[in-house]
Structure 1
């Protein structure tokens, strides 16, 4: 692959807490993939769930990225300011029969092995006396696509059983809708993200198709785990990055990505370290150690 195409990548954290090491690894991988190919790198804050988002988290995340020299090429996009775009997308999907209103509870769906006891997909409106979510209407598919690291991928998509929520009953837009709408809006050509999101790709491909848009290329990197083998996350109490040691943090992130940075970089600046990393970025190093 070369840099003679319009590469547009992004890093899109949810502000549920400060940046931790696992998030830095993903941010750095997406940044280096974009910059090594002469592309642009964007930041999007996926702040769609205020009940899980401390007021200080967004500022902490952006400050950490700044401290580590990871600056976006365009202004930061906030999903909380994109409500009208999501409404427009849902109206389009409803009008074309690719979305439907669902008043089934999780308990009902579990009891029916994912099938809808109220036959939500077959009726035009949900009962007005009950709150309802809006779901995407998947079609059965043997979905095949190419991952930039993991190679050929195959996912079985099951209509009705796997239908993802687009708008929750509480009125919050869901990740599966917002991520596709925003990647389309921002012209994202390539997505670097953790392999914990791999299983969502097949559903997202169908949403792209329903919105008549070209999907990006995906590159899924191994997630960083703690000593118990759990993914580093806010839920697992991953410690916040120490922004006072950005060069060491970046060095460790490069090591986690199997880029083999020289020890001499530890005594240099963040700018020197990122310059070396861009010039020596080897995607294949991740590939060889992720099998």
Structure 2
């Protein structure tokens, strides 16, 4: 019982990181209906981008993040027009193979550019902490949670209050009606995909000072991300947020209360994915991005 306050804090902070990891994936699928198997590589490139500007120019990852996000959005939109736009009406297996192939290309490009050695960014706040009574709050994760909160709120405001956001929601709810209303479907698909990549890059910038960076980190992120969005409901941003915190609490509880739980916690995502697919295939929310 003495561990409960610390468990709650750790789970909340981890849930914030997981939320940032998956909201872009949920947005992309909710609008384009394409499952992006290269999303983990977007996170990886964001981490390497933060590492590069930190080592080359001494620029803090938090300061570099807006620039990296803009670059990620432009890259995502360009990638959509060049490749993914051509398989929008193709069978899902074609889309999966394409995005999986893009992920492999990006992974090997990173391997050539940065080698296989693990890297990390170590700004002054990376290993800082706050003590509140008996509870220790890691400074790096607290900053990551704050960034996740800001970006999630900004995304919801954009979806609810802006013209492009409302067009995105309309397209996610009913494509045919959106076309009749004069919405440029191709443009909105590209924008949603670009924003998805941008949010993935932001996740990578945060993870650059929370853990090790390697060209192979994307697969682990992708598996955990799919477990979360399947748990919450494919295409639902609200469901992705709920799923992120549920998985974070489950993993943290396992690591605290199960013998050798730190190792077993990594299997929670796989178990969660299996149980949800068997018991509730539509997830907890199971609605479109517009919810």
TM-score (norm 1): 0.28
Higher normalized helix content (fraction of residues): 2
Higher normalized strand content (fraction of residues): 1
TM-score (norm 2): 0.28
